[in-house]
Each structure stands twice: as structure tokens, then as C-alpha cells.
Amino acid sequence: MPTPANDSPLEVACPQCGKKVIWGPESTYRPFCSKRCQLLDLGAWAEESHRISGESAMDEADLDTLLAQADRDAPLS
């Protein structure tokens, strides 16, 4: 016989402050506990203190080379 589903709501920790947040429609800012924590996290991404690790896909020199190549290849109207 299958085990009954757990009826208690899922709780997650706010990624900013660690406070427990119920994962449900009543938690407007989930997974954050508040608008403040949500905005603090967004600010950290905007100032690049949060990053996805790995190599940069392209640096500025590569971009300049590609733009110059595109200008040479563009048909004249």
C-alpha cells in the first residue's frame, strides 16, 4: 500500500537571511521571506557580487573583432 502524502507545507530557507518560508501561494516573495530580501539579492546580482562560475563566454576583444567582421560582411544598400 502506498504511503500517504505529507500534508504539511514545504518550508524552505530564505536564500538571503535563512528565515523559514512556506512554499505556497501565500508567500508572495518565495523563496525569499520578504521584498527586502528579494531586493537585496537582486542588488547583489546587479553589482556582480553573485555570479555563475565558469569561463567568460567572450571578452571585449573578441566582441570588437566580431563587430568589425560583421561590418565588413554587411551588404551595402
Which residues participate in the annotated binding site? Answer: 14, 17, 33, 37
Q: Which three cell numbers stand for residue 72?
A: 565588413
Known binding-site residues for Zn(2+) equal: 14, 17, 33, 37
CA–CA gap between residue 6 and residue 53 (Å, rounded): 36
For residue 20, the cross-strand partners are: 13
Q: What are the CA-CA distances from residue 22 to residues 8, 11, 32, 40 (Å)?
A: 10, 4, 10, 20
